[in-house]
Chain A
Amino acid sequence: MKSADMAGERAGQAPLLSLRGIGKRFGAVQALRDIDLDIWPGEVLALLGDNGAGKSTLVKIIAGAQAPSTGTMHFNHKAVRQFDPRYARDLGIETLYQDLAVAENLDVAANIFLGRERKRRLLGIFPILARREMRKQSALALQKLAIELPLRQPVGELSGGQRQAVAIARAAYWQAKLVIMDEPTAAIGVGEHSAILHLIQTLAASGVAVILITHTMPDVWQVASRITVLTRGEKALDGNPENLDENTVVKAMLVGKGVAA
C-alpha cells in the first residue's frame, strides 16, 4: 500500500500519529471504515473528500472530540486510549475549527491562553490571572510568526484571517506537535489567503505536523506534502502531490478506491 511506501521513505523515523483500522459507526451509518494513516513531523497532509466522506469524523477522533468504534491510535509512540479534547490537547494536538476556534468577546491574549492561563499569587495566597505576562508572551508569540495584531481588541472585531492567525499563534505558542486545520482559508479575503498559507508553511517548517482539510485545490499543491482522499468513509488515495494531478484526486473523491494513483 501507499502508506507503507511512504513509511519506507522515512526509514528510521517513527510517525508522530499512527492510526490503524479506525472505524466509526453512528447507528446504521458507517461513517469511517478501516482507516490506516501515518503522519510524520513537519508534514502538511491535505485531507480531501466530498461532503460526508468522513473527514470531520476522522479529525474529531484525532482531536479527541469523538471516540472511534474500532481501531487504534498511537501518538508520539504512545497508545491513545482516552478520547477527550483536553487530553488530546495535552498530548500536543491542536485543532483549528473554521469558525469556532476563538472566543469573539475576548482579546487576542486571552484567546491564546484560553484554558491554560498564566497565574500569579495575589498577596502570596490567591491565584489570579497574570494578564500583563500573558499579553507580553502573546506579543512574542505573534512576533515569532511575523503576525501583527492589535492585542487588546476583542477577537470578534478582527478579520477572518486575523482570527485564523490568532488560532495558529495559539497552537504555535503551546508547541503543538500536530495541528489540525478545518478550511482555514474558507472565510477570508484574497489578501489574507496567501498569508495564511505562508503561516502553515512556517508552522510545518518548525517541525509541526499539519492536517489540512480544504476544498480549495490550488492550496493543496501549494502547501501540502501529502494528499489523502477519503471517499464514503474509506481511504481512497494517499500519495505525494508531485505524483498526482487534480484530475486523479477529484476522481478518487468521486469514485473511491481503485483509482490508480
Chain B
Amino acid sequence: MNASELKGHALRQFLMDQGVLLAFIALLIFLSFVAPHFVSSNNFFSILTDAAPLVLLALSELMVMLVAGIDLSVGAVAGLTGALAATMMLLGFPWPLALFLALLAATLAGLLQGAIINYLHITDFIATLAGLSIFSSLTLIVTNGEPLNINDNGFNAIGESHILGIPDQVWIAGLMVILVALFLGLSASGAYLYAIGGNRVAAYRAGIRVRRLRSLAYAFSGFSAGLAGVIFAAQLATADPNAGRGDELPAIAAVVIGGVYLFGGRGTVWGALIGALLLSTILDGLVLLNISPFYTELVEGVVILLAVMLGYLKKRGTV
C-alpha cells in the first residue's frame, strides 16, 4: 500500500466510524422537528441523563468485548446492586457505606464470573448466562419480590441533584467514560486488553497475564453495571426487583452499533458512548412519538442489524 492509498483508507475509515455520530445528530434534528417536547421541555442534559445507565452498561460490554468476551449478566448485576444498597439502608447502614458495599458486591460478582471463565475455562456466554439467572434470582430473594423504598435523601440525590448544573448521573457516566478512555488509551494494561482480543496466544507468549487481565475486565464490567444499578435505584428512590432486567441486550447493541468488534481487539470508548447515546435517544424518541412499546425491541433489533451490516461493509471495504 502506498501513502495516498493509506490516506484514503484513513479518511474512509473516519467517515465510516463517524457514521454513527452523523446518524445520532440526524436523529436529534429529526426528533426536534417531529416531537416538539424533545427540545423545549427539557434541556440538553435530559438526553444524557436518560442515557447514563446505558452508557455505563455499554462500558461494561466494551471492556469484556475487547478481550473477546461477552457479559450477559450486566442487567442482573445492576438490579442486584440496587437491591443490596436498598436493603442495607433499610437495615440502617449510612448511605455511603451501603453504596460502597453494594458496588463492592457488584465488582466481586463480575470478578467471580471472570475467574470462572478464565481459570475454569467455562465459555463466557454460558458463565454469564448462569450469572444472569443467579443474580436475578438473588435480587428477588433479597427484595422478596417487592419494590424496596429508599428513604435516604443522600442516596436519592444521586438521581436528582446537580453539580455545576450537570446532573449527578451525567457526572458519573461522564467520569467513567473519561477514566476508561484514559486507561485504554494511555496505560500498558489498556493496550494489553487490545492485544489479548487481537491474538490471545501472541499476548500470552509476549508475557501478558492473559487470564488475570481478562478476569479483571469482568470485575470492571460488574463494577460499571453496579453503578448503573445505583442510578436506576436513585432515580426512582426504589430498588425495583425487576430493575435492569433485559438490559444486557441494549448494552450489547449499543457497543455493536458503536463499532466494537464482537470477537475482540477492536473498539473505542468513543464508539461505545455514541452507540449508547444513539440507542438511548431512539428509545426515547419512540416514547415521544407515542409509538407502542411493543415496537421497542423490533426497532432495537433493526438498529443492531443495520449497525452490524455497516461494520461488515466497513470490513469488506478496507481489507
Contacts and interface: CB of A to CB of B under 8 A. Distances in A.
Given A103-B198, A105-B198, A105-B265, A115 B6 contact: no
B191 to A, nearest CB: 6
16 contacts: A85-B205, A89-B207, A100-B202, A101-B202, A103-B265, A105-B195, A105-B198, A106-B191, A110-B195, A114-B202, A115-B203, A115-B206, A117-B191, A129-B187, A150-B1, A157-B1
Contacts of B207: 85-86, 89, 115-116
Given A115-B208, A153-B1, A153-B6, A103 B188 contact: no
A207 B204 CA distance: 27
B220 to A, nearest CB: 18
Contact of B203 (A95, A97, A114, A127): A114
B201 A157 contact: no
A95 B205 contact: yes
B202 A103 contact: yes
Interface string B32-68: 0000000000000000000000000000000000000
Contacts of B163: none
Interface string A99-120: 0111111100010001111010
B133 interface: no
A104 B186 contact: no
Those 3 A-B pairs whose CB atoms lie nearest each other, nearest first: A115-B206, A105-B198, A103-B198
B319 interface: yes
Contacts of A117: 188, 191
Interface string B254-287: 0000000000011000000000000000000000
A86 B204 CA distance: 9
Nearest to A170: B206
Given A85-B204, A115-B208, A103 B6 contact: no
Nearest to A158: B1
Given A95-B205, A103-B265, A115-B208, A150 B199 contact: no
B194 interface: yes
A114 B192 CA distance: 8
Given A89-B207, A127-B187, A128-B186, A157 B319 contact: yes
Contacts of B319: 157
Interface of B: 1, 6, 186-188, 191-192, 194-195, 197-199, 201-208, 265-266, 319
Given A117-B191, A150-B1, A97 B186 contact: no
Contacts of B194: 103, 105-106
A217 B198 CA distance: 33
Nearest to A64: B205
A256 B186 CA distance: 54
A73 B191 CA distance: 34
Interface residues of A, number: 28
A115 B188 CA distance: 8
Given A115-B206, A117-B191, A122 B198 contact: no
Contacts of B198: 103-106, 156
Interface in A207-250: none
B199 A103 contact: yes
A188 to B, nearest CB: 17
B202 A102 contact: yes
Nearest to B197: A105
Contacts of B202: 97, 100-103, 114
A62 to B, nearest CB: 13
Contacts of B206: 89, 103, 114-116
Contacts of B208: 114-115
B281 to A, nearest CB: 30
A85 B198 CA distance: 19
B260 to A, nearest CB: 12
A108 to B, nearest CB: 13
Interface string A122-137: 1000111100000000
B1 A129 contact: no
Contacts of B266: 105
Contacts of B191: 106, 110, 117, 129
A122 B185 CA distance: 13
Nearest to A114: B206
A126 B194 CA distance: 20
Contacts of A101: 202, 205
B186 A122 contact: yes
A183 to B, nearest CB: 16
B199 A100 contact: yes
A137 to B, nearest CB: 16
